[in-house]
A = this chain, B = another copy of it.
């Protein structure tokens, strides 16, 4: 008996990801959301509750999207070391080409909010754990296949990779546009494998 929803909730969430990613939580106003999502104030609050709930939902969706593509990458990878370089090279490409560089939504949120919002802190921490596990499994596989040096323990390498990924995303967020800087970092990172 009801009118059907005219907007796609997931599409709206994708829009929310965009603007929260770009401006941060505190930097995004309710008016920004109305403008960017194309929803009315009322629809927005009826659908998502409030700003914090919308943010959490956006961040979780972003996380899922990234984890999915990360898993897919490693599943289809013949060479693990190549796959790892692809991840970093992709991050570099995004950092250089984005006219407005947004870095990583998860990293940005961790820095801005993890200390002050326990719910965000949990998401960030879970994400770290899961990504680390994915890296760790991949490294192990790579070591078994003789594609990655086993002079370092897989867990240790995984954490190291995660750390450098965060660093590069911060660099991007800070607006670094010199490809050589990224390439130098990558060169050092992969000297370890």
- A residues with a Cβ closer than 8 A to B are 22-24, 26-27, 100-103, 107-108, 110-112, 114-116, 121, 124-125, 128, 151-153, 155-157, 159-160, 162-168, 170-171, 173-176, 181, 184-185, 187-189, 191-192
Contacts and interface: CB of A to CB of B under 8 A. Distances in A.
Contacts of A22: 115
- Protomer copies: 2
A14 B171 CA distance: 26
A189 B42 CA distance: 51
Given A26-B24, A152-B187, A185-B160, A111 B107 contact: yes
Given A151-B191, A175-B121, A188-B160, A111 B114 contact: no
A132 to B, nearest CB: 8
A188 B152 contact: yes
Contacts of A151: 191
Interface secondary structure of A, over-half rule = helix
17 contacts: A24-B26, A24-B112, A100-B115, A103-B111, A107-B170, A111-B112, A124-B175, A125-B174, A125-B175, A156-B184, A156-B187, A156-B188, A160-B189, A163-B167, A166-B171, A191-B192, A192-B192
Contacts of A189: 160
Nearest to A158: B184
Given A26-B27, A152-B187, A155-B184, 13 more contacts: A23-B116, A100-B115, A107-B111, A112-B112, A114-B173, A115-B175, A128-B176, A160-B184, A160-B188, A163-B167, A164-B164, A170-B170, A188-B192
